[in-house]
A and B are shown apart, each in its own frame.
Chain A
Amino acid sequence: MSINKDSNIFTFSFAVVMVLIVAISLAVVSESLSSMKKANKEDKKKINILSAIKVSADRNEASQLYEEYIKESIVINSSGEIIENDNLDAFYIDVKKQYRNKNLSIEDKIFPIFIAEKDGSKYYITPLVGSGLWGPIWGFIAFEKDCNTIYGASFDHKTETPGLGAEIREAFFEDAFIGKKILDENSSFVSVDVVKGGSEEGNNHQVDGITGGTITSDGVTNMLKNDLKVYNNYFKTIR
Chain B
Amino acid sequence: MKSTLFSKKNRKLLSDPLGDQNPITIQVLGICSALAITVQLQQALVMAMSVVFVMVCANVIISALRNVIPSRIRIIVQLVVVSSLVVFVDQVLQAFLPDVQEKLSVFIGLIVSNCIIMGRLEAFALGNKLWPSFLDAIGNAIGYGWILLAVAFFRELLGSGKLFGYQVFPDGWYEASGGFYLNNNLMILPPMALIVVGIIIWVQRSRKSFPEELLEEN
Chain A positions near chain B (C-beta within 8 angstroms) = 5-6, 10-11, 14-15, 18-19, 22, 25-26, 29-30, 33, 36-37, 40, 44, 59, 134, 158-159, 162-164, 211-212
Instruction: Give Cα A211 to B88, complex, Å.
Output: 35
Given contacts A5-B68, A14-B69, A26-B88, contact A37 B76 (CB under 8 A): no
Q: Is B182 part of the binding interface, using a Cβ–Cβ cutoff of 8 Å?
A: no
Contacts of A5 in B (CB 8 A): 68, 70-71
Which residues of B does A touch, CB under 8 Å?
37, 39-40, 43, 68-73, 76-77, 80-81, 84, 87-88, 91-92, 94-96, 98-99, 102-103, 105-106, 159, 185, 188-189
Instruction: Report the nearest B residue to A4, measured CB to CB.
Output: B70
Do B91 and A33 have beta carbons less than 8 Å apart?
Answer: yes
Some 21 contacts from A to B, beta carbons below 8 A apart, are: A5-B70, A6-B70, A10-B70, A14-B69, A14-B77, A15-B76, A15-B77, A30-B91, A33-B95, A36-B95, A36-B96, A37-B95, A59-B99, A159-B106, A162-B39, A162-B40, A162-B103, A163-B39, A163-B189, A164-B188, A212-B189
User: Which residues of B have CB within 8 Å of A6?
Assistant: 70-72
* A32 → B minimal CB distance (Å): 9
B-chain residues with CB within 8 Å of residue A36 when the two chains form the complex: 95-96
Decide: A162 near B88, CB < 8 A? Known: A6-B71, A11-B72, A212-B189: no
Complex Cα–Cα for A159 and B88 (A): 20
12 additional A-B pairs beyond A14-B77, A30-B91, A162-B40, beta carbons within 8 Å, are A6-B70, A6-B71, A6-B72, A11-B70, A29-B88, A29-B92, A33-B95, A36-B95, A40-B94, A162-B103, A163-B159, A164-B188
A14 to B72: give the CA distance in the assembly, Å: 11
Contact indicator A19/B80 (Cβ below 8 Å): yes
Contacts of A29 in B (CB 8 A): 87-88, 91-92
- Among B70, B81, B98, B185, chain A packs the most CB atoms within 10 A around the CB of B70
* Residue in B closest to A13 when the chains form the complex, CB atoms: B70
Q: How far is the CB of A137 from chain B (nearest CB, A)?
A: 12
Decide: B95 and A40 in contact? CB cutoff 8 A: yes
From B76, B98, B105, contact of A40 by CB (8 A): B98
Contacts of B76 in A (CB 8 A): 15
- Chain B residues with CB under 8 Å of A59's CB are 98-99
Residue of A nearest to B77 (CB): A18
Contact pick for A14, options B73, B102, B103, CB 8 Å? B73
Cβ of A158 and Cβ of B72 under 8 Å apart?
no
Chain A residues contacting B103 (CB-CB under 8 Å) are: 162
Q: How far is the CA of A70 from the CA of B95 in the complex (A)?
A: 26
Residue of B whose beta carbon sits closest to that of A158: B105
Smallest Cβ distance from A110 to chain B, in angstroms? 27
Closest to B189 in A: A212
Expressed in whole angstroms, the minimum distance between the Cβ of A51 and any Cβ of chain B is 14
Nearest CB in chain B: distance from A115 CB, A: 27
Minimum CB–CB distance from A43 to chain B (whole Å) comes to 8
Chain B residues near A134 (CB, 8 Å)? 106
Q: In the docked arrangement, what's the CA distance between A37 and B94, Å?
A: 6
B40 contact set on A, CB distance < 8 A: 162
Residues of the A chain whose Cβ atoms lie less than 8 Å from the Cβ of B94: 33, 37, 40
Chain B contacts of A22 at CB under 8 A?
Answer: 80-81, 84
Q: Shortest distance in angstroms between B125's beta carbon and chain A's nearest beta carbon?
A: 16
Q: Say yes or no: A14-B43 contact (C-beta < 8 A), given A29-B91, A163-B159.
A: no
- With both beta carbons as reference points, the residue of chain A lying nearest to B107 in the complex is identified as A162
In the complex, which residues of chain B have a beta carbon less than 8 angstroms from the beta carbon of A164? Answer: 188-189
- Nearest-neighbour CB distance to chain B for A136, whole angstroms, equals 11
Assess whether A33 is in contact with B92, with CB atoms less than 8 Å apart.
yes
Which chain B residues lie closer than 8 Å to A211 at the CB level?
A: 185
In the assembled complex, the Cα of A25 lies from the Cα of B159 at a distance in Å of: 42
Nearest to B83 among chain A residues (CB) is A22
Cβ contacts under 8 Å, A19 to chain B = 80
CB of B155 to closest CB in A, whole Å: 9
Closest residue of chain A to B87 (Cβ to Cβ) is: A26
| Distance (whole angstroms) from the CB of B5 to the closest CB of chain A | 30
